[in-house]
Each structure stands twice: as C-alpha cells, then as structure tokens.
C-alpha cells in the first residue's frame, strides 16, 4: 500500500505547489486582527494528505497563519492528537477557546467552514 500512497502523495504535493492559491492583500491592521484570532489554532496534518492539502489551500487563500503540526515522523504531535483529540485522524483543527476549553474539528469541510467564518467576521 505504501508503494501506491507515496507516488500519489508526491503528485498531490507537486500539483499543490504548481497551482497554489494566492493570499489576499489586506491592510496591516486588518491582517493583525485576523492573526490574533488564529493564534489559538493548530492544524494537525500530514503533508501529502489530500484533505490536509485542501485545508492548507484554504488557509493560504484566506491569508491565515495557523501552526501546522505534522503527525508523521518522530515527534509528539501524533500522540498528543490521540491523547487529547481522541483519534488519529487528519486534518484536525485544535481550537483553544478563551475560557480554556479545547475543541477538536476533524472533518476537512468543517475545518474549511470554520476558517472561512474567521475571515468573514473580521
């Protein structure tokens, strides 16, 4: 299975690189306001996952700066995702709310919708 996934993943990354969306141009104050809203967000992802690419493209298209946490390799992000989020599934957006509560969004469509509401509210 890995022999099939690896070339497909590389093709996804290449196409994403070639057809990468542009970030919007905003006034500094407006961008700072949006950046402030995204400070408490983290995206758990895998680089060549097509659903993760979809979310990252939305982030770029909307001009959002969100910490990316790659769950592959030797790091603690995968264990953190399983321990705190409940399952190893990506993309997963970790949303830390003002009251300290943490929400985990797992579906790419839900994550994209949430990210788009951040920029529309600004």
pTM, entire model? 0.90
Backbone angles phi and psi of 20, in degrees to 5: -65, 135
- pLDDT tens for each residue of 49-76: 999 999 999 999 999 999 999 999 888 9
> How confident is the model over 39-52, as pLDDT tens digits?
999 999 999 999 99
Residue 90 has pLDDT above 90, yes or no: yes
Complete DSSP assignment for 45-62: E-TT-HHHHHHHHHHHHH
Q: What does the mean pLDDT of the chain come to? A: 93
pLDDT of 122 > 70? The answer is: no
């Amino acid at each position: 299975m890995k022999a099939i996934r690896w070339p497909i993943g590389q093709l996804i990354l290449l196409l994403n690189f070639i057809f990468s969306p542009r970030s919007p141009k905003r006034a500094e104050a407006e961008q700072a306001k949006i950046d402030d809203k995204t400070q408490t967000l983290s995206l758990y992802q895998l680089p060549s996952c097509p659903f993760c690419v979809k979310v990252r493209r939305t982030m770029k298209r909307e001009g959002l700066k969100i910490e990316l946490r790659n769950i592959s390799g030797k790091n603690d992000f995968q264990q953190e995702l399983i321990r705190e989020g409940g399952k190893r599934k990506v993309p997963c957006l970790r949303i830390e709310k003002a009251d300290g509560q943490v929400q985990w969004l797992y579906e790419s469509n839900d994550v994209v919708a949430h990210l788009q509401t951040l920029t529309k509210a600004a």
